[in-house]
Structure 1
Amino acid sequence: MTQKAQIPTVSIVGLLALTIIFGWFRYGYGLLFSEFKNAFGLSTSLLGVISSLTFVTFLAGALIVVLFVVKFGARHVILAGIMTASTGLLIASLTDNWMIFAAACLLAGFSPGLTWSSFSQCVNEHCSINIQKRSLAVISTGSTVGLIVISLIYLFLDGNWRLIWGGGAVAGYLIYWWAYKTIPYKSETPSAKRIRFADLKPLLTSDKKPFYASAFLFGFTESTYWTYSADFVQGNFSMANSNAIFFLITGIGGLAGLLGGELISKWGMRFTFSLTIILYSLSMSVLFLSQGWLLVCFSGLTFGISFMLYAAYLPIWSSKVFPKFPAQGFGICIIVLNIGAILGPAVFGWILAYSAYSLIFLLLGIVGLLKVFMLPVVQEEF
């Protein structure tokens, strides 16, 4: 009797870690946006700037991975990422000072950059080839699971954001303890050395421009939608906890990201990518056309679907564009994506000071649609 391949422990730890890092912090910031405004008396624009600054630390975390993960292995970087997320959530949940709150968010902002590609590196180092794809799929599901869970908890606790983030911090420390016990150290390889910028020159040639431009626009638009959409929904509907219901719908739609590989195998990358871009653009711009509840639900559902599909396509596209440097290539992709994510909320936060909320979603849809001119360029279809 053949034994069924087991899901490795690192995949479960990765799923739980991304549940806290992305679900509680990254997406949770948008879900709790209105609560932050009320708790600290901050303007929408200033909270948008804080959101942008958290992507600066996200970027710093991604740079650390690119430069040091090959030398020191993924374990230490993953542990640092879980610790920064947990500590940032804890400090933010306890303070009444908006500047300390902002600093705590910046600390937690390191965590996605430190962990996203590091878990992929860990799977590559320690899991057999036949279970690597399954392991990565399990880990990536954590962000969507986190969004669904935090939305349900928000509804159960009636928006008590301090309890939500404080509880997330406690869960994060427990996950850190499990990760410390189970994630293996890097195998000793005397030839391994720290990556220098000179070693990354093949990643910066002109034929990579469509990939990087697409990543930049994705970061620019998705960070803005995540930052402002729940606040927009809550401001337009008297329904109790409409922001949490909206994000719950978005998270359910995000489960479609698990189908990304199958869709590419069936229809090809360029065609699937094009359809996803159109759906992604429509999901945002529809909020300009009407703010009726059904269209708002349509926006959340289709954004969740297209966002997670897009996020699933990027590492697949990266592996084809950078066959000799998969980890470093995807690390550069994350850096470029985060440059866009830094600019998006801040730029649109400034626009919000002079225009209606709904206008930014039309602009986001138009900018998102530009990605159809940056389709994958590879030697053969995949």
Structure 2
Amino acid sequence: MTKHFTSSSRDGYDRPPGKARNLTAAGLAIVAVTYGLARYCFGLFLPEIRLEFGLSTETVGLIAGSSYVGYLAATFLGAWLSTAVEPRLPILLGGMAAAAGMMIIASAASPLGLAFGVFLAGTSPGLAYPPFSDVIVRHTEPVRQNSVYAWINSGTGFGVALAGPLALYAGADWRLAWLVFAWLAVIVTFWNMFTLPRRRNVRNTRETAVSLRFLTYEKARPLFCAALLFGVVSVIYWTYAVELLTDLTGRPRDAILFWIVLGMAGVTGCFAGGLVNRWGLGRTYAALAVAVGAAIASLPLLIGSRFGIFLSAAGFGIGFIVMTALFGMWSMRIFREAPSIGFGFTFFLISLGQGAGPVIGGYLIPVLGQSMLFVAAGLLCCALALFRAPA
């Protein structure tokens, strides 16, 4: 039986003038706390967390993977709520999940409690991120949609960049950092509560049933395959890069500076819309797949040079944020009739790969070693250029 949703990309929202900038800023902020903090910062504090709880490599992989399992569980819920109710609801739920999950992490007394906090925090971007495709399509002029989406997507970089200085300040007190993250999520959630528009019941509005069969479009297959594999290779860097640097250099401070460079470079992802407008989606995607792959593979090879590891961080930070923006733009081109469903499924596949990646890495590291794992992941990322995105 075919399941149907109601697309919120049709009429049914008011369009107050001058709201685009406020929506962009609020969206960037919620992405910063849900993606940049709640989801990706586990790797930043991994050496301290692993030492305090005495975690094995396999256990670390399973806990890190729980964040992505949480995302998978929430992605379709967020997309469904966006189409069936309104985008505002899942976005606010995502902010609350980020705050609650990070508070649980900050107070965890056991590995099980830590895993639950990581899981709950991981649900937050799954709830909050896909509905913004509906918000963008509905409340932004078509010529500005790539740019607005790129700015919102770059929130990940802002969140990662913010986490680094706080980690330096907190030192070994990683719980303090997570508590501050949680309160930032609370503030940002209230900001979105007062900024995001509500859907109005407009007379003569025609609701459109959207079949899930459209996810089987032949033209979507390269997108879905590339998204899945990109999730696997990129999460290796997010999860294990800081630990790799700490183990091989013995300089934890350099690892945190590396994280700050990664985040600051990711902020430049806000210009992804301009790149696509100038060079086209296909060429930009192919170039970035190779660039991200080179950044991943080169990290263990450049370990002896502080400039080299910062160069790898900058390359990955820029490339990852732009690549995720490109996947979002690619999806919105294909699934115009139900942006949040197609968009949500694309990022569901990225996170499916990211959920499997830490678990795979946790079992491969004792066999291959961390360095070879990074080289293999980088080469696989370069191969993603073979999946052809629209021009």
Q: Quote the Cα distance in structure 2 between the aligned partners of 1:142 and 1:368.
A: 23
Instruction: Compare 268-277 and 221-230 and name the one that shifted more.
Output: 268-277
- Contact 2:94 2:125 (8 Å CA) reproduced: yes
Match of 1:187, SS? coil
* Structure 1 partner of 2:275: 263
Note if contact 2:286-2:386 (Cα within 8 Å) is conserved in structure 1. Answer: no
The equivalent residue for 1:208 is 220
- For residues 208 and 35 of structure 1, the distance between their equivalents in structure 2, rounded to whole angstroms, comes to 42
Question: What displacement does 1:74 show?
Answer: 0.9
Change (3 A) 1:233 1:84: same
Compute the displacement of 1:137 (Å): 3.6
Please provide the CA RMSD for this pair. Answer: 2.1
Does 1:141 pair with 2:148? no
Cα 1:128/1:305, change in 2 over 3 Å: closer
Q: Does 1:118 align with 2:131?
A: yes
Q: Determine the C-alpha separation between the residues in 1 that align with 2:168 and 2:128.
A: 28
CA distance, structure 2, for counterparts of residue 288 and residue 246 of structure 1: 13
Aligned AA (2:281): M
**How far apart, CA to CA, are the structure 1 residues paired with 2:36 and 2:278?**
30
Question: 1:321 aligned to 2:328?
Answer: no
Contact 1:45 1:352 in 2 (8 A): no
Q: TM-score, normalised by structure 2?
A: 0.89
How many residues were matched structurally? 372
Match of residue 274 from structure 1: 286
Deviations 1:307-333 (CA, angstroms, capped at 9, x unpaired): 111111112211222333333211111
278-287 or 136-145: bigger deviation: 136-145
SS at match of 1:314: helix
- Partner of 1:29, secondary structure, is coil
| Aligned: 1:92 with 2:105 | yes
8 A Cα contact 1:70 1:194, kept in partner: no
Judging changes above 3 Å, is the alpha-carbon distance between structure 1 residues 280 and 132 closer, same or farther for their aligned structure 2 residues? closer
Q: For 1:59, give the aligned amino acid.
A: L
> What is residue 246 of structure 1 aligned with on the other side?
258
Q: CA deviation at 1:31?
A: 0.7
The offset of 1:38, in angstroms, is: 1.4
Displacement of 1:171 in angstroms is 1.7
Give 5+ residue unaligned stretches, structure 1: none
> What SS does the aligned partner of 1:28 have?
coil
Percent identical residues = 25
- The correspondence of residues 285-296 of structure 1 with structure 2, limited to 5 A, is 285-292=297-304, 293-296=306-309
CA 1:325–1:122: 2 relative to 1, 3 Å: closer
- Counterpart contact for 1:74–1:118, Cα < 8 Å: yes
Q: Structure 2 matches for 1:23-102, cutoff 5 A?
A: 23-102=36-115
Secondary structure of the structure 2 residue equivalent to 1:296: helix
Listed as ranges, the gaps of 5+ residues in structure 2 are 1-16
1:9 aligned residue (7, 22, 27): 22
CA contact (8 A) 2:295 2:312 kept: yes
Contact kept? 1:73, 1:186, Cα under 8 Å: yes
Offset, 1:290:
4.0
Which residue of the other structure, out of 229, 246, 260, is the alignment partner of 1:217? 229
- 2:165 is aligned with 1:152: yes
Q: Report how far residue 342 of structure 1 moved.
A: 1.4
Post-superposition shift, 1:127? 4.9
Structure 1 residues 228-268: Cα deviation after superposition (integer angstroms, max 9, x where no partner): 11111122223342221111111122123122222222222
- C-alpha distance in 2 between matches for 1:153 and 1:178: 22
CA gap of 1:279–1:347, structure 2 versus 1, over 3 A, is: same
> Are 1:360 and 2:363 matched, yes or no?
no
Distance 1:269-1:133 versus aligned 2 partners, 3 A rule: closer
2:23 partner amino acid = V
Bigger mean CA offset, 76-85 vs 65-74: 65-74
AA aligned opposite 2:74: G
CA distance in 1, matches of 2:291, 2:69: 28
Aligned to 2:358: 345
